[in-house]
Every structure is written in C-alpha cells, then in structure tokens.
C-alpha cells in the first residue's frame, strides 16, 4: 500500500497512512478549510495529547481539548466547534465500534457478510459532523487509496468514486493532483454561481 500524499508533510502523511482514525479525523476537519491544513489536524492533536486513541480523545476534558485544538496553529479555522466534533466522532467510534475505526468498513452488514459500499456510507453518515457528501468522499478515499473496496463502493461513492476524476481529497496523490482538485472545485463553484 502506498503512502498517502494529502498534506505534503512526510511525517503527517505517514500518520494518515498508518492510522485510519487519523484519516477519519482529517476527513472530519476537511470543511471550510484548505484540504492539506485539515488533514494536518490529526497530527497536531496527537503531538499535543500524546495519542490519537479514540478512547483518550472521547474521555478528554472538553475544555482542555478545546484549548488543545485552538492553540496556534489551531486544528481548524473553527477550532472550538471542531474540537467538539472530534470528540463526538471519537465517542461514536468508542461506543459503536469499541474504539476500532476500521470496523466501520469491516463489521458484517445486514446480510451477515461484509458490508456493502452503501452500508459503509450509511455508517459514516451517522457520525457527528459527517453528512452524506463527506461520507461518500471518505469511502472514495478508502477505495481509491487504501484498498478498502466493499461491494458497490464506486456506486455508493457517487461521482467521487469515478476513476480518473479530480473532484475531492480522494483524488489527491501529489501537489499536482491537489492543484487539479482545486481547479475542479473552482470551476464547479463558478458554474453553480452562473446558474444561481
């Protein structure tokens, strides 16, 4: 499995590659904030808290965690509210998956077999701070770059699962790819504005 390139910082990208919970938190923070800065957030949390264990994050004192999240450089432009969301996601992973984030995409689905892509999207969508679009993008990231490809994952991820697309963080594998995704988003925004 190749090392992810999401931030351009080797140590941060290694953490995102090695720790699926770090990757999930980066996805959570990828909102109204440059992608590479959002995905750097999990490393800031780990460096300041000493761990990215979901139990430790979920059980941390909320005020202390806000202070950790908002200390410059903050984990996000909206560090205070995002601190609460990070703790909310950690609590959900602890309560629903015993602290093992990979169970979101490995626990048996309704059929008793491996979960389908649609079931994984549903589970991700149920997490605090995740909506359907963020869930689809994260599934596309797992499928395209981490080898997590449940049945029907491309369809469940919608256009984010399209091969050769440059729509989201799921398609970022280099500085050049990041620039292409930015260009796509800029064009999409302009198109929406001209229609609206």
∠ CA 115-121-127 to the nearest 5 degrees? 110
pTM, entire model: 0.95
For position 102, what pLDDT does the model report?
A: 97
Q: Are residues 61 and 152 in the same domain?
A: no
Is 106 domain-assigned?
no
The CATH number linked to 14 is: 1.10.340
For position 193, what pLDDT does the model report?
A: 86
Q: Domain ends where: 68, 101, 134?
A: 101
Q: Are residues 84 and 118 in the same domain?
A: no
Q: Are residues 143 and 164 in the same domain?
A: yes
For position 97, what pLDDT does the model report?
A: 97
For position 109, what pLDDT does the model report?
A: 85
Q: Are residues 120 and 154 in the same domain?
A: yes
In terms of residue numbers, what domain contains 31?
A: 1-101
Q: Are residues 123 and 180 in the same domain?
A: yes
Coil, strand or helix at 136: helix
Q: Are residues 193 and 160 in the same domain?
A: yes
Low-confidence ranges of the chain (pLDDT < 70): 1
- Structure-token pair, residue 136: 């689809």
Q: Are residues 89 and 117 in the same domain?
A: no
Count of domains observed in the chain: 2
* DSSP H or E stretch at residue 191: helix 175-195
Q: Are residues 20 and 97 in the same domain?
A: yes
Q: Are residues 87 and 166 in the same domain?
A: no
- Structure-token pair, residue 114: 């491996």
């Amino acid at each position: 499995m190749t090392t992810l390139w999401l931030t351009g910082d080797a140590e941060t990208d290694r953490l995102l590659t090695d720790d699926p919970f770090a990757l999930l938190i980066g996805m959570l923070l990828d909102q109204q904030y440059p992608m590479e800065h959002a995905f750097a957030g999990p490393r800031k949390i780990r460096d300041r808290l000493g761990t990215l264990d979901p139990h430790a994050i979920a059980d941390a004192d909320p005020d202390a965690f806000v202070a950790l999240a908002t200390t410059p450089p903050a984990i996000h432009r909206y560090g205070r509210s995002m601190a609460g969301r990070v703790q909310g996601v950690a609590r959900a992973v602890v309560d629903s998956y015993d602290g093992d984030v990979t169970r979101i995409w490995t626990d048996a689905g309704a059929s008793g077999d491996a979960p389908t892509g649609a079931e994984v999207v549903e589970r991700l969508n149920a997490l605090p701070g995740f909506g359907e679009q963020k869930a689809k993008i994260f599934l596309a990231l797992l499928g395209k770059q981490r080898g997590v490809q449940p049945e029907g994952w491309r369809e469940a991820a919608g256009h984010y699962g399209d091969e050769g697309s440059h729509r989201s963080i799921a398609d970022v594998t280099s500085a050049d790819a990041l620039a292409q995704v930015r260009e796509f988003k800029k064009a999409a925004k302009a198109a929406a504005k001209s229609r609206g």
